[in-house]
Chains A and B, each alone.
Chain A
Amino acid sequence: MAGIVSYGAYVPMYRLSRAILGQVWGGGGKGEKAICNCDEDSITMAVEAGVDCLKGMDRKSVDALYFASTTAPFKEKQSASIVAAALDLREDIVASDFGNSLRCGTVALKAALDAVKSGSARNVLLVIADCRLPAPNSAYEPLFGDGAAAFLIGASHVVAEIEASYYLTSEFIDVWRLETDRLPRSWEERFILDEGYEAHMKKAFNSFLKARNAKGKDFTRAAFYAPNARSHQAVVKILGLDPKTQVEEPLFDSVGNTGAALAPMTLVAALEGAKPGDKILLGNYGDGADAHALLVTENIAKMKDRRGIKTYLKSKVMLENYGKYLTFRDLMPSEETPMTRPRTSLTAMWRDRNWVYRCHGHHCQKCGKTQFPPQKRCMYCQAEEKFLEEVPLAERKGVLFTYSMDERTAVIDPPNILAAVNLEGEVRIFSQMTDRDVKNIRVGMPMEMTFRRIHDALGVHNYFWKCRPARD
């Protein structure tokens, strides 16, 4: 039976408290929302969730990568191919982007399951990430958060079988962005919540349960999308669920509404607490709705080392102020300076792809030392390139050897921290440090690598690896 073989999730480190938004715009609001760093986007968050999901898995067995998001960083140019490279997947795979609908994650899930069931793929990696930009001082601003989830879909060693699914497609328009819009537009709230969300969820769940001759109370846990907490409660009521025992809370107070990633992240949270035999009801919404029944197997015990929602929620830094948020999201005009702009070369990036995207270093077969970036001659024993063998380094842990904090570099979030990190296996990486709490950096602290957007020189997103203090 096909289903979820592994799962992972990602919550960015920075959180914006709703109290700060209250101070800026008036009004109250409890809890906080996760927002991605200025060097993160849906591609980098998808990579993070993918890394979490692939822990202990054989990357060579991944025959397809599906990326789902309503906020793909490129309009033309696939995101999935960049995610696949950063995850160091094989080249002879199918990669595809799913987008435009909040439901793109579960639509991609269907495509993944179909591929596995038909035998065209052994395992499909499905990564779902979203970082929707709400208008300042809008109802969506306190609500929207950023995050990602990932599932390895396959037919053997499944931790949760997907027993059945039901899909409903609708031309209903509630929230949209036109081709050049950065910010969402929406129709009247009562219409989009009552006639849109509640009506479609009710129809999809009822049709699904009826066909299976089941009821809401038959499920151990329900994990489904909602635009906000109130609408979520309304559907809990429609399904007749016990809010105390049966409902996986959709992270509104801690992460926010992560759009296409919300239902998938809520499902990861449900799986984190699941036992063999548990039945999970999954639901998603957007341009229709869908419903799924999952059965947790005894393999769930093998998933304990995932960071998932739980660990990533705990590791956080509160954003100091709203101004920082505005600059992170490029919502403010900034002063023009005569400083030179960064440049890039896609030609060079292409030549360097194995280390820029895949984080491969060189291992010298003569002296045994590993080095980054790859070399023409071993930097330790000068052996020729033919003795240098590519090795992946992205997953190696390390410690901070030395660093500096440059206040004057033209980065979005100064100081720019330069770091020398000694990774496992005696390999040194020189890189920028991200996701850091500047007051809590010390030589010797545990570090790890993370895939980030370095700059947007010449109007293209230029990605590479940075280091960050370990988030476990």
Chain B
Amino acid sequence: MAESIKDKVAIVGMGCTKFGERWDADIKDMITEAADEACKDAGVELKDIQAIWQGSQWGSQIVEGGVVTGTLVSSTLQTQYIPVTRVENACGTGAESLRGATFALAAKGYDLVMALGVEKCKDMGFGGLPSVWIGRWEPVYGAFGTGPGRYAMAATAYFAKYGLSNDDGKKLLAEISVKSHFYGAKNPKAHLRREVTVEQVLNAPMIAWPLGLFDCCGVTDGASAAILCRTEDAKKYRDDYVTIKAFGMAASPGWGKERIDYDFTYWDATQAAARAAYAEAGIKNPRKELDMVELHDCFSIAELIASESLFLCETGKFKEQMADKRAYYHDGEMPVNISGGLKSFGHPIGASGCREVYEVYKQIQKKAEEPSRQIKDVKLGLAHNQGGHPGKFVCGVTVVGAP
């Protein structure tokens, strides 16, 4: 009989590289940076680690789309014949690496393991992400459908459903980006570290109408890592460890955008993963009970819709309940993406899910890199990570908290 994972596994160390356009660092440099910081934070040595879950969509082989095996990590860190499992769920990869590590510990297969997410995106020679999928899976169906193009359809649909004029809708999204940049500017490890104004966001070049430049996250290099053990062993490593309260993981049936009854204004996989995670963690009212949320905001519209689909506010009420009240700021009622989010902290595909947990972990420990970003008294936080596109997501919701 399956059992709840709640509080069975603890995170005792985490590391995260500086995110950004890391012209100075290759994928091996970043794996080492994140792993070393995590080991140091946990007070362990690499040779103590018994198994690794490595999350990466492409590694550094974005253009060629090369397969990345676990040897990427073993050959970099010179681990000696321990298992390295490579997991991949597109942009939702990071949550998957943590989940694999957690369940292996709960199954008592190991005592001390590492989860690591990494992506080297900026060796390609052009801006944006490549359309490697044209012809890869379907020769002609969905050709030229990019991330921005697909997410932007959700913005158009949201504006239409809730009667927002294009200008009002754009302004609502701009306020989200202003917040993301506000916190990115305060975060030393963030990729985009410049504050922007609503006017700047509105006047920026168009990427995929209605989303402009500042509605989109950058393309980022980075890595993040976590050291985990069973909770009964956690005290050996540190007193201020955090525990896993729940994993919700849902792969959608995948034909949302092709279904007449899907309107693009909610993320069904997020709703399913959130419901599962809340049930496991015993959360009845997420807005009240969660002290902070790091959610998957690769685009401004993604933050809006994820906030509703994680039930942080009522459906269709983001403007009133999140934006107008500034509830999503660090001193607000429901702090969201105080790291700067994927939008400003950066989004190295396979690293993001683990990086989101890093932010919650640091906030619980009151170690936000810059004190003005510290949220008061965090006991329970959520990391939301998804891969795919509107109508076809795989989503991981990870709830962590003080034990």
Residues of A within 8 A of B (CB): 337-340, 342-346, 348-349, 352, 356, 369, 371-373, 375, 379-380, 401-411, 415-416, 418-420, 422, 426-430, 432, 443, 454-455, 457-458, 462-464
Which listed segment binds A: B6-14, B258-266, B355-363?
B258-266
The answer to whether B208 and A415 have CB atoms under 8 Å apart is yes
A-B contact pairs, 26 of them (CB 8 A): A343-B134, A343-B136, A343-B139, A344-B135, A356-B139, A356-B141, A373-B141, A402-B264, A403-B156, A405-B152, A407-B205, A408-B128, A410-B131, A415-B209, A416-B144, A418-B145, A419-B153, A420-B157, A420-B264, A428-B257, A428-B260, A430-B391, A443-B156, A455-B134, A462-B139, A464-B141
The answer to whether B153 and A455 have CB atoms under 8 Å apart is no
The answer to whether A373 and B157 have CB atoms under 8 Å apart is no
Residues of B within 8 A of A454 (CB): 140, 143
Residues of B within 8 A of A (CB): 63, 124-128, 130-132, 134-136, 138-146, 148-157, 160, 205-211, 253, 255, 257-260, 262-264, 391
Question: Which single member of A379, A416, A455 contacts B258 (CB below 8 Å)?
Answer: A379
Question: Ordered nearest first, which 9 A-B pairs have the shortest CB separation?
Answer: A404-B152, A343-B135, A338-B125, A406-B149, A342-B134, A464-B140, A405-B209, A402-B157, A406-B208
Residues of B within 8 A of A430 (CB): 142, 257-258, 391
The answer to whether A404 and B209 have CB atoms under 8 Å apart is yes
Q: How far is the CA of A455 from the CA of B142 in the complex (A)?
A: 12
Known A339-B126, A407-B207, A443-B156; contact A432-B150, beta-carbon cutoff 8 A: no
Q: How far is the CA of A348 from the CA of B143 in the complex (A)?
A: 14
Question: Which single member of A402, A418, A457, A463 contacts B160 (CB below 8 Å)?
Answer: A402
Query: Least Cβ distance of B216 to chain A in Å?
Result: 10
The answer to whether B260 and A344 have CB atoms under 8 Å apart is no
Query: Least Cβ distance of B305 to chain A in Å?
Result: 13
Given contacts A344-B140, A430-B142, 7 further A-B contacts (CB under 8 A): A349-B140, A352-B141, A402-B157, A409-B149, A420-B157, A430-B257, A454-B143
Residues of A within 8 A of B63 (CB): 338, 340
Q: How far is the CA of A4 from the CA of B316 in the complex (A)?
A: 57
Residues of B within 8 A of A432 (CB): 143-144
Q: How far is the CA of A379 from the CA of B256 in the complex (A)?
A: 9
The answer to whether B209 and A408 have CB atoms under 8 Å apart is no
Q: How far is the CA of A275 from the CA of B124 in the complex (A)?
A: 65
Residues of B within 8 A of A371 (CB): 255, 258-259
Residues of B within 8 A of A380 (CB): 259
Residues of A within 8 A of B263 (CB): 401-402
- Tally of contacts, chain A with chain B, CB under 8 A: 156
Query: Least Cβ distance of B261 to chain A in Å?
Result: 8
Query: Least Cβ distance of B252 to chain A in Å?
Result: 11
Which A residue's beta carbon lies closest to that of B206? A407
The answer to whether B258 and A407 have CB atoms under 8 Å apart is no
Residues of B within 8 A of A337 (CB): 125-126
Question: Which single member of A401, A428, A458 contacts B157 (CB below 8 Å)?
Answer: A401
Query: Least Cβ distance of A206 to chain B in Å?
Result: 51
The answer to whether A416 and B149 have CB atoms under 8 Å apart is yes
Residues of A within 8 A of B125 (CB): 337-338
Interface-central residue, A379, A405, A443, by most chain B CB under 10 Å: A405
Residues of B within 8 A of A443 (CB): 156-157, 160
Which B residue's beta carbon lies closest to that of A419? B153
Which A residue's beta carbon lies closest to that of B147? A406
The answer to whether A457 and B260 have CB atoms under 8 Å apart is no
Q: How far is the CA of A131 from the CA of B127 in the complex (A)?
A: 36
Known A338-B124, A420-B257, A429-B258; contact A403-B153, beta-carbon cutoff 8 A: yes
The answer to whether A409 and B139 have CB atoms under 8 Å apart is no
Query: Least Cβ distance of B211 to chain A in Å?
Result: 8
Residues of A within 8 A of B153 (CB): 402-404, 418-420
The answer to whether A342 and B156 have CB atoms under 8 Å apart is no
Residues of B within 8 A of A338 (CB): 63, 124-126
Query: Least Cβ distance of A339 to chain B in Å?
Result: 5
Q: How far is the CA of A371 from the CA of B261 in the complex (A)?
A: 11
The answer to whether A404 and B264 have CB atoms under 8 Å apart is no
Query: Least Cβ distance of B36 to chain A in Å?
Result: 32
Residues of B within 8 A of A356 (CB): 139-141
Residues of A within 8 A of B132 (CB): 340
The answer to whether B139 and A344 have CB atoms under 8 Å apart is yes
Q: How far is the CA of A356 from the CA of B135 in the complex (A)?
A: 13
Query: Least Cβ distance of A348 to chain B in Å?
Result: 5
Residues of A within 8 A of B259 (CB): 371, 379-380, 428
Question: Which single member of A340, A369, A401, A426 contacts B131 (CB below 8 Å)?
Answer: A340
Query: Least Cβ distance of A430 to chain B in Å?
Result: 5
Which B residue's beta carbon lies closest to that of A455? B143
The answer to whether B258 and A404 have CB atoms under 8 Å apart is no
Which B residue's beta carbon lies closest to that of A348? B139
Q: How far is the CA of A459 from the CA of B138 in the complex (A)?
A: 17
Q: How far is the CA of A356 from the CA of B142 in the complex (A)?
A: 12
Q: How far is the CA of A443 from the CA of B162 in the complex (A)?
A: 13
Query: Least Cβ distance of B302 to chain A in Å?
Result: 13
Which B residue's beta carbon lies closest to that of A430? B257
